[in-house]
Structure 1
Amino acid sequence: MRGYKLIAAIVPKGAAGKVMDAAREAGAEGGTILMARGTGVHEARRVFGITVSSERELVLILVEPEKRDAILDAVVRAGRLDEPARGIAFVMAVEEVKGIVHHERQED
C-alpha cells in the first residue's frame, strides 16, 4: 500500500496517552508509543553537577493523507506543542506499507 503519512510527535513523559487519545478522536486508527530521551537545548538539566536528560515519549501514527491535517492539529493541541519546550511534531512521507491487513482486504 502506498500513500500513507507518518506523524511523529516527541512529547514529555506522560503526555503520549493524551496525544494518542486526541489523535484517535481526530480519525487515527492507532499508533505506537516509545520511550525516548531528549538531548536538545531544553532537555538537558544539571542536578548536583550531573547532566540529566529528560525523558520523552515518541508517538508514531500512520495516517491516510486526507486525515493528516486534522490528526496533526489534534496532536499539537493535546501535546501543547505550540508552547516552549513541550516537544515537536512532524510529518514524513511513507513510501510503502505492509501489514495493515484490514485495509489491504478493502482494496481487493
Structure 2
Amino acid sequence: MDFKLLMVFVDQDKTDRVLNAARKAGATGATIINNAQGQGLRPHLTFFGLEFMAARSVLLILVEARRSSEVLEAVSQAGGLDESLDTGIALELDVNRALGLSEHIKALSKEYPLS
C-alpha cells in the first residue's frame, strides 16, 4: 500500500476544523505539533515594534496515496489556506517506507477495499 504524508501548518484555532475535514475526506488520524512558530513573507509587528508570532499547529497526516488529493483539498478549504498570505500552507510528500502500519493497513483494506 502506498502512502503520502500531508504536512499542514495552520493557526491553532483552525486545528480542529482542519482535522475534522481531513477525517471526512478519508484520513484516519494525525499527529499534531502545537505551539510551532514561523515567519512568513513579512513580519507581523506589534505596536511596540516587536515581532508577533501567533501559535501555529503542524499536522502530520499519513494517508493512503489514492486518498491524498481529496484530503489535501479538504484541509486547504477548511483552513482557508488560499485566502491571504498568513493563513498557512499544506504540502504533500511521498513516503518511500513506513513501519508500524500492519494493523492500520488491515483496517484500511477492510474499510476501503481496492476497486
Mapped partners of 2:13, 2:28: distance in 1: 21
Mapped partners of 1:82, 1:96: distance in 2: 31
Q: Which residue of 1 aligns with 2:14?
A: 15
Q: Which residue of 1 aligns with 2:104?
A: 103
Corresponding letter in the other structure for 1:49: G
2:53 matched to 1:56?
Answer: no
Distance 1:104 1:37, change over 3 A: same
Identity value in percent: 36
Q: Which residue of 2 aligns with 1:72?
A: 72
- Structure 1 contact 11–87 (Cα < 8 Å) conserved: yes
Q: Which residue of 2 aligns with 1:93?
A: 94
State the superposition RMSD in angstroms: 1.8
Corresponding letter in the other structure for 1:17: D
Deviation, structure 1 residue 101: 3.2
Match of 1:98, SS state, is coil
| Per-residue CA distance 1:48-96 (angstroms, 9 max, x = gap) | 1222222211111001111011111110111011211211111000111
- Residue correspondences, number: 105
Q: Which runs of 5+ in 1 are unaligned?
A: none
Q: Which runs of 5+ in 2 are unaligned?
A: 110-115
